């Protein structure tokens, strides 16, 4: 349940799992519920949660879904990392240009 895993999860994922846990707590475990979260930027782990009904009825399913989700999203994560790197390089170029302009302006004022 949510209470058991709370201290080992990220705060936003905890909120997500808490809602899933509330949904899954019905009569006779009538709901199979899953929660998966993976950072888009490639830094971090794939977090998952499954309702007790899933673990009782299909214990191998969460691991299978985890692999499918990770394998599917991994190329998209690589693309996100590439785009982020390109943005950071562009920002560095802008920063260097601004520093050079500031230095040139400072030199002109010093010459006055």
Domain boundaries, the chain: 2-105
Residue with tokens 């299978």: 64
Instruction: Name the nearest CA neighbour of 48 among 75, 27, 73, 20.
Output: 20
pLDDT digits (tens, 9 = 90+) for 13-60: 778 788 777 777 766 567 788 888 877 776 667 788 888 888 889 999
Q: What is the pTM of this model?
A: 0.56
- d(CA 84, CA 89) in angstroms, rounded, equals 9
Sign of the alpha-carbon dihedral angle for 11, 12, 17, 18: positive
CA atoms within 13 A on the CB side of 11: 0
pLDDT digits (tens, 9 = 90+) for 51-110: 888 888 999 999 999 899 888 888 888 888 888 889 999 999 999 998 888 887 877 777
């Amino acid at each position: 349940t949510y209470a058991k895993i709370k201290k080992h999860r990220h705060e936003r994922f905890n909120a997500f799992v808490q809602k899933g846990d509330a949904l899954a707590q019905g009569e006779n475990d009538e709901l199979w519920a899953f929660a998966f979260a993976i950072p888009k930027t490639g830094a971090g782990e794939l977090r998952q949660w499954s309702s007790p009904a899933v673990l009782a009825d299909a214990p191998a399913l969460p691991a299978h879904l985890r692999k499918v989700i990770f394998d599917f999203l991994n190329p998209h994560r690589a693309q996100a990392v590439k785009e982020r790197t390109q943005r950071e390089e562009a920002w560095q170029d802008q920063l260097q240009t601004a520093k050079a302009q500031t230095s040139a302006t400072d030199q002109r004022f010093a010459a006055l």
